[in-house]
Amino acid sequence: MSEMLKNKVVVITGAGRGIGRDMALLMAAEGAKVVVNDLGGAIDGTGADLTPAQEVVSEIRKNGGEAVANGDSVAEWESAQRIVATALDNFGRIDCVVNNAGILRDRIFHKMTPEDFDAVMKVHLYGAFYISQAAAPHFRKQESGSYIHFTSTSGLIGNTGQANYAAAKLGIAALSKSIAMDMAMYNVRSNCIAPFAWSRLIGSIPTDTPEQRARVEKIKGMTPAKIAPVAAFLASDAAKEVTGQILAVRGNEIFLMSQSRPIRQIHLSTGWTPQTVAEIMLPAFKSAFYPLEKTSDVFRWDPM
């Protein structure tokens, strides 16, 4: 290994399984000291078990690396502070935060409850804010640091039955960009990864239709280990010029995702009325309207 992350201290949330586990193992192999955070709950966020985090720590140590386990929830301010404190108490500093923890409570929109929406927002969006904010004073003081947030094409593009998850994940993309802008003066970077990979959460996707079954079968071939190299790069000094970006990773493919910009413009010197909007703006813009596409409609080809 090149040890791109030698002496870096990395906090990875949701690192007991799936993508988080593979990131922890690779970053430790690259020389990082890793805080393996995982509540160890069920897919919907209920329950807790430190065993998954401890197992990853044991594997890292067996391979000669340094790691500690933490079982705090990202969804509360006080526990997020404890997660960051675990890095400081054990390793004396913090260099990178990976906001990977997540849950799913998929429902078609008209059946989604406030509890379903709130629980997903708390873990994904609030959790990313809490952990990032807890690390910010330390990054600012040392004038260095890297945030890696996990977004999703469910928010960037769209998927059915995931209004809560999509809203949280698109919010994370905006949060990352704001952090990148606000913290740039302190040499702190913030980027997003949108992963395509088989995981415990993806395994909960309904397979009631042939389309859903085909989608899940394709995802099964994309292992979480494919995501880890991009995350390790973003955590390293080699990525010092990369901030405010969104990278999607699908198998052996890496995509730089677009960010919202104007694509059409029209003006009327006399100002607008509802009638002229309908008569002039609508036909001018209609051909450029975005269709109601799902992720699978945009990524039409098989993973490479």
Task: Please count the other Cβ atoms lying within 10 Å of the Cβ belonging to residue 243.
Answer: 21
Task: Output DSSP code: residue 281.
Answer: I
Looking at residue 153, its pLDDT comes to 96
**Strand partners for 189:** 146
pLDDT in tens, 137-154: 999 999 999 999 999 999
Residues taking part in catalysis: 165
CA distance 119 to 74: 12
pLDDT in tens, 144-184: 999 999 999 999 999 999 999 999 999 999 999 999 999 99
> What fold characterizes domain 9-256?
Rossmann fold (3.40.50)
What are the E-state strand segments in 157-240?
188-196
Structural domain boundaries in the chain: 9-256
CA distance 289 to 264: 10
**Strand partners for 162:** 107
**Strand partners for 250:** 196, 253
Q: Can you state the angle between helices 127-142 and 77-91, rounded to 10 degrees?
A: 40
Task: Taking the CA atoms of 13, 202, 176 and 160 in sequence, report the sign of the dihedral they define.
Answer: negative
pLDDT tens for the 304 residues of the chain, in order: 579 999 999 999 999 999 999 999 999 999 999 999 999 877 877 887 899 999 999 999 999 999 999 999 999 999 999 999 999 999 999 999 999 999 999 999 999 999 999 999 999 999 999 999 999 999 999 999 999 999 999 999 999 999 999 999 999 999 999 999 999 999 999 999 999 986 655 555 566 777 666 666 666 667 899 999 999 999 999 999 999 999 999 999 999 999 999 999 999 999 999 999 999 999 999 999 999 999 989 998 888 7
Looking at residue 179, its pLDDT comes to 99
Looking at residue 205, its pLDDT comes to 59
What are the E-state strand segments in the chain?
9-12, 33-37, 66-70, 96-99, 145-150, 188-196, 246-250, 253-256
